[in-house]
Amino acid sequence: DAGVTQSPTHLIKTRGQQVTLRCSPKSGHDTVSWYQQALGQGPQFIFQYYEEEERQRGNFPDRFSGHQFPNYSSELNVNALLLGDSALYLCASSLGHSGNTIYFGEGSWLTVV
Amino acid sequence: KNEVEQSPQNLTAQEGEFITINCSYSVGISALHWLQQHPGGGIVSLFMLSSGKKKHGRLIATINIQEKHSSLHITASHPRDSAVYICAVRGGTDKLIFGTGTRLQVFP
């Protein structure tokens, strides 16, 4: 059983460009959360998707958007990239609400130059 | 002040030593997670606690809800335990609030 898978693992983009990161949750999981982790910092919550809708959002600008598909996979899109968007982007999946264990992917390393 | 504080930030130990990492939080929580992150970036969930104590192999996690404090203990530490250990709390909503992590290095 595959756990949470993310792609790509590493990518380099130029300021002003747009990026799409992808996440497939653990089999059977219906809730996907995205986190941004800057170097040396703890992850910061971006948003969470459940039943194809954004259920919660952290303090991130509208340049950060997402989507969840009927098969529960998810995408994170970032527009108009800034140097400060360089970070590890982590996807986490769980089943339903807060009582359940969360599984994390290996992350996508984004470098903006 | 961060809502989740960990100490120490960095920790070095000799193989075999007993290790304690502490986590204090200032918000109401429904659960607390201890996570392990290796240099490659991936995070592994070690424990999810809402009360009391849990043990898995050489790892023990405790939580005191009244004092808003949790500890992660590693007995008989080994170089393969070297990683960043992160405390994260889940509040009234489903999102996790993370500490900044404790970087552990265990030397042979």
Q: Is A110 helix (H, G, I), strand (E, B) or coil?
A: strand
- Token output for B13: 């130990």
Q: What is the pLDDT of residue A97?
A: 64
**Burial class of residue B87, CB neighbours in 10 A (0-12, 13-18, 19+):** buried
Determine whether the interchain pair A90/B43 forms a contact, defined as Cβ–Cβ distance below 8 Å: yes
| Strands (DSSP E) found in A1-113 | 5-7, 10-13, 19-24, 31-37, 44-50, 53-57, 64-68, 74-78, 87-94, 103-104, 108-112
Q: Spell out which residues of chain B touch residue A99, defining contact as CB-CB under 8 Å.
A: 30-31
Out of A42, A55, A107, the one facing B99 most closely (by C-beta) is A42
Q: Shortest Cα distance from B54 to chain A (angstroms)? A: 14
Q: List Cα–Cα distances, A99 to A96, A109, B30, B39, B87, in angstroms.
A: 8, 29, 8, 28, 17
Q: What is the pLDDT of residue B41?
A: 76
Out of A33, A90, A101, the one facing B48 most closely (by C-beta) is A101
Q: What is the pLDDT of residue A100?
A: 74
- Token output for A55: 């259920």
The pLDDT averaged over each successive group of 10 residues in chain A (113 residues) is 89 98 94 93 93 91 97 97 97 80 92 97
Determine whether the interchain pair B96/A109 forms a contact, defined as Cβ–Cβ distance below 8 Å: no
Beta bridge partners of A74: A23, A68
Strands B69-74 and B96-98: unpaired
Q: What is the pLDDT of residue A61?
A: 97
pLDDT tens-digit profile of B18-58? 999 999 999 888 899 999 998 877 889 999 999 999 999 99
What is the DSSP-derived secondary structure letter of residue A3?
A: -
Q: Spell out which residues of chain A touch residue B94, defining contact as CB-CB under 8 Å.
A: 31, 33, 48, 55-56, 97-98
CA B21 to CA B10: how far, in whole Å? 10
Q: Shortest Cα distance from B45 to chain A (angstroms)? A: 7
With a pLDDT cut of 70, the percent of chain B lying above it is 97
| Lowest mean per-residue pLDDT among A13-17, A53-57, B68-72, B93-97 | B93-97
Mean pLDDT of chain B: 93
**Is the bond leading into B108 cis (omega within 30 degrees of zero)?**
no
- pLDDT of B71 > 90? The answer is yes
Q: Spell out which residues of chain A touch residue B95, defining contact as CB-CB under 8 Å.
A: 33, 45, 48, 56, 58
- Our CA angle for B90, B54, B76, nearest 5°, is 120
Q: Spell out which residues of chain A touch residue B41, defining contact as CB-CB under 8 Å.
A: 37, 88, 90, 106-107, 109
